[in-house]
Structure 1
């Protein structure tokens, strides 16, 4: 990457646009690579402007790939927008393997370990949770009944701040005859911060109660996939055991769940209690049986202890959400370096969000370890894209208003930056949802770009830590895997310190290199994986869980 006094940047030598690192006023002189010209319309930070004049239909290239085409002729120095370019991406085909890659220096981490929970199937957890889950949405209420009965009594209630005093003050204002304006302008004191209660089971990190809106009434494909997803959570290394509530008549049968568990762990030996309401009769009988077995399971889980494990036992999910124009040049490449480091040490990483790999299919398919793996990736991409277009919303519709506002104006621009999270190592496996994707090396997992659906799927696939980059700010977390949030820019890190863990904006400012930030990230991951540090999402109890319906979700 080439920069000029931190005003703008060329990401790849083949690019014909530059990225503004700061707001550039109209008329700002640009001197770059033997060219001298002025910015035409002014460019906001994170947005792009042309390095050369372009004819109508001219190609826009970023990260060395096609990311769009002009809808009219553009002069040199013009800002690219949704009005003057549209999404475009190059076709892809099966080609020769490109498996050579430069492994990063990991000598500083070669003897590092983390303290984790060792499971009988050889996996290692970064946490120790008990699950209470419904097989069908009909059981959501009963799951919440158990939550109310157990969570606070066992010391797992998460209330980062008590806002009831604020409500009391607003009520007092209303009763005193305050107007709407008085209420809106009132200076009300904040409630006191609330911590966790004292945990009864010191070595169990929590009981997680997962609700969803699936299991019956939809397609059999979706109910079967739900069973696979739930099996991924039950067999996850961060889970000590599970209580499952079933109605009995739904599509998502307990027998299907058991089959999916056996696929993932043929010798599964953790406690699993399944209760069927239509067999047990009354709610009282169901809840009492579930509570007794859950409590007994927690007693068993509390006997487990953290023990040393090599970093090769880490499986890191790579995510992004609320991305901006700096994502692909700061936080995402830093994650890519972390990915390469972990792969070099024998660990696993998962890159998902297939709509956000549009335009970089050729590079990724070329990096697949063999032709069947490459063909599998291309097939999944084409099938997903075709289904999206058939339903009137192709990959081109992926960028959100926030993405566009902050410089990601086509899906290919967003994708080329998002793919940087996967580093440069060979692709060792391509897996369809809701499969297991924890093979050593870089795994590609087919999921939507929706960050909660994708994070939910990555954890089911085996990720025991998730690294999540954001340029705009999102609180996304997960019930059983710690989600570490990384800001692409310092302003976000300073504005939302309650949800962001790590600042990667130092790369944009030139005070740290990608390698330095990657080392900082990996050291933080080790502390989190060992239970020494809780990421903000865990502290807040941000337990996002959304299964993917195989209809179109971008």
Structure 2
């Protein structure tokens, strides 16, 4: 409900969201009440609609976002100075909520690349997959030979050559959680449907050997694969020359591939947010949730992630789980995260970040309630580990950190072929080989950073478009981008450095 420069999300909410900077002394009318603000309230921040005593629960979205740490009066700015964590244990139900999704679009297709294993890609890349950080510089030297508008002019159906470098690959304990996560990630990119050719590059003495990344891996039979180690090839210069030659041999073959109509049910959509603000859970995230529901209704797959950023809202997801087993797997991962955070000297309510707080988010509960909106209303069909192959249709949850590059790297390793990324503060994230569609939560940031954003979801707050209209627009943009339309991050050649596998576990 819009009410005189405020948004009231639920009738019983204790707070509203300011849609403009409100100076002290501002008079606001909400229903039959008049509020006079005792202090300034910045745009996208919260102000109290009613009195809440110290220790009382503060509600937004119809849910608890924390407890008052001081008495809150009507009109007060509600933020870190008077709102803290609510540690009340939440009740978890399983499979008790099943929403009716929007009508599935009939017969919709996108123009994609059909791979030999039956999966569908949205791009056609050559990926240099590095087994160890020691080969990172060499991989970049090879990829740099194919950068720039003229480098691949003779191969218009090849989207690029990317070096996927990272900071690990040696000093790991074989078979450990950290080693397994890295190997899953590297293998996931090697077999990704957006990758037509792979050069696996290592040093030669690392703990994750080059050949181990392709031996036994069920690669599509049309994936072109070469392997190199710097030590066996004769050093960096010789390896660069050989790597360039091997990729040059791949390019004519890959350039012969053509897009063809493929049902949208074969799209795998990654959902992520970064640099969130007080509008994220009101505009971009629920609009993306509608687009996700449209895709799921058509038989496609959407992947929600960022486990620390569903903490406090997980009860809303377990209610939508297709089985108790699926719901409990999500709770098990949250239990793991609480131990992981404690071992590092923190807690999950250390989130939000300073930028999130500047944008109006106060507690992890508030942030999580807005973040889960990206997953729409669909049933939760599966919960998978970091970078695990995604084989279920519908809405899937992947266990990832909240740190954007690490989270999206896992989602793409699992098979996401398009990513939608919402931001309120202005993240400049890009992602390759999966195109990343940037969704701005507010018009002010969209206009200030228009070269970095694809869709302005702030129109929902401005009153110039409905949530359903923007959600439908995002859905159409997903299909267009999957069919080859360039995103702004692709136009800026972003997405290579954002390959960041999750490093966890013992390094010796």
Same fold (TM over 0.5): yes
Cα distance in 1, alignment partners of residues 272 and 391 from structure 2: 15
Q: How many residues align?
A: 502
Query: By how many angstroms is 1:287 displaced?
Result: 3.5
Cα distance in 2, alignment partners of residues 92 and 241 from structure 1: 48
Deviations 1:30-76 (A, max 9, x none): 33344443222231111111121111111111112211111111112
Query: By how many angstroms is 1:29 displaced?
Result: 3.0
Contact 2:94–2:323 (CA<8 Å) still a contact in 1?
A: no
Tell me what 1:355 maps to.
308
Contact 1:343–1:442 (CA<8 Å) still a contact in 2?
A: yes
Tell me what 2:132 maps to.
136
Name which of 58, 72, 76 aligns with 1:78.
76
CA change 1:196–1:478 in 2 (3 A) is farther
Contact 2:273–2:422 (CA<8 Å) still a contact in 1?
A: yes
Pairwise mapping of residues 530-545 of structure 1 onto structure 2 (< 5 A)?
530-531=483-484, 533-543=485-495, 544-545=498-499
Query: By how many angstroms is 1:259 displaced?
Result: 5.5
SS of the aligned residue for 2:196 comes to strand
Name which of 322, 340, 344 aligns with 2:275.
322
Name which of 111, 122, 128 aligns with 2:118.
122
Name which of 112, 127, 141 aligns with 1:145.
141
1:241 matched to 2:197? The reply is: yes
SS of the aligned residue for 2:303 comes to strand
Cα distance in 2, alignment partners of residues 357 and 95 from structure 1: 16
Tell me what 1:178 maps to.
none
Contact 1:232–1:462 (CA<8 Å) still a contact in 2?
A: yes
1:252 matched to 2:171? The reply is: no
CA change 1:520–1:390 in 2 (3 A) is same
Query: By how many angstroms is 1:495 displaced?
Result: 0.6
Name which of 375, 379, 393 aligns with 2:328.
375
SS of the aligned residue for 1:299 comes to helix
Query: By how many angstroms is 1:242 displaced?
Result: 0.2
The TM-score, its normalising length taken from structure 2, stands at 0.94
Name which of 391, 413, 416 aligns with 1:460.
413
Contact 1:89–1:359 (CA<8 Å) still a contact in 2?
A: no
Deviations 1:153-198 (A, max 9, x none): xxx42xxxxxxxxxxxxxxxxxxxxxxxxxxxxxxxxxxxxx5556
Cα distance in 1, alignment partners of residues 99 and 30 from structure 2: 30
Name which of 102, 105, 117 aligns with 2:103.
105
Cα distance in 2, alignment partners of residues 296 and 466 from structure 1: 30
| Coordinate RMSD, CA, aligned | 1.9
1:336 matched to 2:332? The reply is: no
SS of the aligned residue for 1:329 comes to coil
Contact 1:216–1:223 (CA<8 Å) still a contact in 2?
A: no
1:227 matched to 2:183? The reply is: yes
CA change 1:62–1:268 in 2 (3 A) is farther
Contact 2:94–2:321 (CA<8 Å) still a contact in 1?
A: no
Pairwise mapping of residues 168-207 of structure 1 onto structure 2 (< 5 A)?
199-207=153-161
Name which of 271, 275, 282 aligns with 2:228.
275
Cα distance in 2, alignment partners of residues 410 and 260 from structure 1: 45
Larger Rg: 1
Cα distance in 2, alignment partners of residues 14 and 90 from structure 1: 19
- Name which of structure 1's ranges 20-29 and 457-466 shifts more when overlaid on structure 2: 20-29
Query: By how many angstroms is 1:365 displaced?
Result: 1.2
CA change 1:450–1:96 in 2 (3 A) is closer
Pairwise mapping of residues 7-86 of structure 1 onto structure 2 (< 5 A)?
7-86=5-84
Pairwise mapping of residues 497-508 of structure 1 onto structure 2 (< 5 A)?
497-508=450-461
CA change 1:371–1:115 in 2 (3 A) is same
Cα distance in 2, alignment partners of residues 101 and 23 from structure 1: 36
Query: By how many angstroms is 1:93 displaced?
Result: 5.0
Query: By how many angstroms is 1:389 displaced?
Result: 2.0
Tell me what 1:3 maps to.
2
Query: By how many angstroms is 1:269 displaced?
Result: 4.8
Name which of 409, 428, 433 aligns with 2:381.
428
> Which runs of 5 or more residues in structure 1 are unaligned?
158-194
1:492 matched to 2:491? The reply is: no
Cα distance in 2, alignment partners of residues 426 and 359 from structure 1: 19
